[in-house]
Structure 1
């Protein structure tokens, strides 16, 4: 699970071009939206595409995405339970 969390941090920084954020700056339980990383709805769409492309997870329900994208911790848990790649 730790390797997956590390991978997620790297992918999020890369996919969303978060140039001024380092992997070490992202805590597992920090919120991804709002006060945490400060991501927005466009970033959420990018994360949905990344989940599909990299892990074979398709999100159809936006409410589901809101729960999954709370933190690195919640994303890693969801991916480990649902990935097809």
Structure 2
């Protein structure tokens, strides 16, 4: 097994484990989906996907940096309009 295949397998398993943990936590707290839940779910799915793309495909570092910048902007956004 090559190191890149192992990294993809670990990232995929981490994504599945995080999803199971996240949904079990939502069920334990008896909560539904809200804006923060959607952000957390997107993060759980997006970060391992970027890691898989970085390892398994010949993406340029600029493209991966743009994807990470998009994720950072999404996570740091407020989601509501401010009256400034």
- TM-score bucket (shorter structure): under 0.3
Q: Larger Rg: 1 or 2?
A: 2
Give the TM-score of the pair, scaled to structure 2.
Answer: 0.28
| Structure with more helix by fraction | 2
- The higher relative CO (CA closer than 8 Å, separation ≥ 6) is in 2
